[in-house]
Structure 1
Amino acid sequence: MTDTSSVSIDKRGPALWITINRPEKRNAINADVIAGIAKGYRAAHDDPAIRAIVLTGAGEKAFCAGADLQNTGGAFAAQDFSKPNVDFADLLRLSQNATKPAIARVNGVCMAGGMGLLCMTDMAISADNVIFGLPEVKVGVFPMQVLSLLQSIAPRRIVNEWAITGEPFDAKTALAAGLLNHVVPPAELDAKVDWLIGRITDKSPTAIRRGKYAMRAIASMSFDEAIAYTETQIALLAMTEDAKEGLKAFAEKRKPSWPGK
C-alpha cells in the first residue's frame, strides 16, 4: 500500500484501489486528493499486472462530497490563474486517456466534484442509500468541468435539471439516468465490485486496452470517420498474441491464457 496524506493506493490482486482518505471531511477534494488519484492512475498503467482500477472513498458516509470549500476559504478563488490548465481538469484528461478500465465504488454521498470523479470512470457501482447532486449553483458557481463528462453519460434534459436546480437525487434516479451500472445494498457493495473486477480480468487485456483507446478516439468522429478508423483497428487487433490465443482457445474449447501482448 502507498499512502499520501489524503489518498491511499492499494494493490489487491489484479486491481489497484485508489481510496480518498479524508472521511472526516466527507472525502472532499483538495490538491493532495487530485495528486494522489493521478498518482494511482499512473501507477496502474505502469504495472502490467494491474488489470482494473477501483476509485472509492474511505468510510461509509461519503464517496466524495466535492471541493473542500472550508479548508480553502474559497476553492475557486485559490486557483493560480497564470496556469492555462486547472489541476482537476488535468485529472479528468488523464482519466479519459487511460487504457485500463476504472470502476467507481460509490459508498456514500457523491456531490459536485465527486460527480466528476464518478463520471471519469468507465463503470460505477453504488450503494442504494447514496445521495447524488450538483449543488454548485447554491454557492454561486456551476459544475463546469463535471459537465464535460456528464453530458455524454446522462440525457440532456436530466443533466439540465441537476445542474440548474442543484437539487439532490437518489441512487435509483442515478441508475435510471445511466450514471450507474449497478445499485446494491451497502452490505453487498464490495461483493458486486469484486464480481465486476472478475468479469474484466478474465478477458483479454490487450483487447480492452486497444478497445478503450479506440472508443476514446472515435467519440467525436462522424460515422464515416469512425468506421474508417475502426476497420484499421480490428485488423491490427487480429495480429496481437491475445487474439491468436483467444481464437486457439475457442477452437480447443478451453479458457484462454492471455499473454497480454
Structure 2
Amino acid sequence: MAENSSVILEKRGQAFWITINRPEKRNALNGEVIAGINKGYRDAHDDRDVRVIVLTGAGDKAFCAGADLQNTGGAFAADFSKPNVDYADLLRLSQNATKPAIARVGGVCVAGGMGLLCMTDMAVAADHVIFGLPEVKVGVFPMQVMALLQEIAPRRLVNEWALTGEPFDARIAQTAGLLNYVVPAAELDAKVDWLIGRIVDKSPTAIRRGKYAMRAIASMSFDESIAYTESQIALLAMTEDAKEGLKAFAEKRKPSWPGK
C-alpha cells in the first residue's frame, strides 16, 4: 500500500485500487489528489500483474465532490506560464490508458468528480448516489468535464445538466449511459468484485490492444476506422495470447494467457 495522505494506492490481487482519501472534504479535488490519481494510473500500468484499475472515494458520503472550494478562487487559480492544466492532463492520461478502469461510486459525484467518472471505462454506483454539474451556481462551467461527458451522455441531457446545474439520481445517470450498474449500497463492493472478475480472466493483450484501437478510431470516419481496424485484427492474430486463446478453445480448456 502507498499513500500521499490524500490518495491511497493499493494492489488487491490483479486490481489496482486508487482511493481518494479526503472523506471529511467529500473527497474534493486539490493538487495532491490529482497527483495521487495520476501516480496510481502510472503505477498500475508499470505493474505487469495489474489487470484493472478501480477508482473510488473513501467513506460512503462522496465519490468526489469536485474542486475544493474552501479557499475562494483557489480551486480555479492557474499558472498561466503552463500550457496544460493538471486536471486536464489527468483526463488526457486516462484516455491513453491501456488497462481498463472501473469507477466505484459510493457517494455524491458532482462537478470535477463527474470528470473522474467519465474517464473510466465502466462504472458501478450505489442507488442513493446523486450526480450533477453545479458549476454554474458558483459562476463557472464544467469546461474540462464536457470533453469526456459529451461523448458518453445524450446532448440534450448534457445541456440540461450543465446549464441548470441541477442534480440528478443514479437511475437517470444509468439511463444516460454514465453507469453500467446501479445496486443497493450493501451490494456495491460485491458488484465491483464481480466486474473485476469478468475482466481479469480475459486476454490482457486483447484488452490492451483493443483499448488502444478504440481510442485511435474515436475521431475517424467509418472508412478510416474500418481500414485501421483491418490492420489491427491482423496484428492481434499474431500475438501469443491470440494463439493461446484459439488453441484453448479447440482443446476445450481455459486459456493460460502469456500476456504477449
TM above 0.5, yes or no, is yes
Q: Which residue is equivalent to 1:126?
A: 125
One-letter amino acid of the structure 1 residue matched with residue 44 of structure 2: A
Displacement, 1:78? 2.0
Q: Which residue is equivalent to 2:143?
A: 144
Q: Which residue is equivalent to 1:15?
A: 15
Return closer, same or farther for 1:224/1:234 CA change in 2, 3 Å cut-off.
same
Q: Secondary structure at the match of 2:74?
A: coil
1:5-154 alignment, distance < 5 Å: 5-70=5-70, 72-154=71-153
Q: Secondary structure at the match of 2:90?
A: helix
Q: Secondary structure at the match of 1:11?
A: strand
The 1-side partners of 2:173 and 2:223 are apart by 33
Return closer, same or farther for 1:181/1:77 CA change in 2, 3 Å cut-off.
closer
Q: Which residue is equivalent to 2:220?
A: 221
Q: Secondary structure at the match of 1:104?
A: strand
Deviations 1:234-259 (A, max 9, x none): 00000000000000000000000000
The 2-side partners of 1:221 and 1:26 are apart by 39
One-letter amino acid of the structure 2 residue matched with residue 41 of structure 1: Y
One-letter amino acid of the structure 2 residue matched with residue 214 of structure 1: A
The question of whether the paired residues in 1 share the 8 Å contact of 2:118 and 2:148 is answered with yes
Q: Which runs of 4+ in 1 moved over 6 A?
A: none
One-letter amino acid of the structure 2 residue matched with residue 140 of structure 1: G
Displacement, 1:5? 1.8
One-letter amino acid of the structure 2 residue matched with residue 154 of structure 1: A
Q: Secondary structure at the match of 1:36?
A: helix
The question of whether the paired residues in 1 share the 8 Å contact of 2:68 and 2:75 is answered with no
1:176-191 alignment, distance < 5 Å: 176-191=175-190
Question: How many aligned residue pairs are there?
Answer: 260
The 2-side partners of 1:251 and 1:259 are apart by 17
Percentage of identical aligned residues:
83
The 2-side partners of 1:77 and 1:105 are apart by 26
The 2-side partners of 1:128 and 1:211 are apart by 31
Q: Which residue is equivalent to 2:192?
A: 193
One-letter amino acid of the structure 2 residue matched with residue 42 of structure 1: R
The question of whether the paired residues in 2 share the 8 Å contact of 1:18 and 1:40 is answered with yes
The 1-side partners of 2:7 and 2:49 are apart by 21
Q: Secondary structure at the match of 1:69?
A: coil
Displacement, 1:77? 4.3
Displacement, 1:75? 3.2
The question of whether the paired residues in 1 share the 8 Å contact of 2:30 and 2:75 is answered with no
Q: Which residue is equivalent to 1:205?
A: 204
Q: Which residue is equivalent to 2:163?
A: 164
The 1-side partners of 2:105 and 2:73 are apart by 26
One-letter amino acid of the structure 1 residue matched with residue 53 of structure 2: I
One-letter amino acid of the structure 1 residue matched with residue 250 of structure 2: A
One-letter amino acid of the structure 2 residue matched with residue 53 of structure 1: I
Deviations 1:153-209 (A, max 9, x none): 000000000000000000000001001000000000000000000000010000000
Deviations 1:22-73 (A, max 9, x none): 0000000000000000000000000000000000000000000000010x32
Consecutive unaligned residues of structure 1, counting only runs of 5 or more, are none
The 2-side partners of 1:49 and 1:38 are apart by 19
Return closer, same or farther for 1:24/1:18 CA change in 2, 3 Å cut-off.
same
The question of whether the paired residues in 2 share the 8 Å contact of 1:20 and 1:56 is answered with yes
Deviations 1:211-239 (A, max 9, x none): 00000000000001001100000000000
Query: How well do the aligned residues superpose, as a CA RMSD in angstroms?
Result: 0.6
The question of whether the paired residues in 2 share the 8 Å contact of 1:41 and 1:95 is answered with yes
The 2-side partners of 1:107 and 1:37 are apart by 17
Consecutive unaligned residues of structure 2, counting only runs of 5 or more, are none
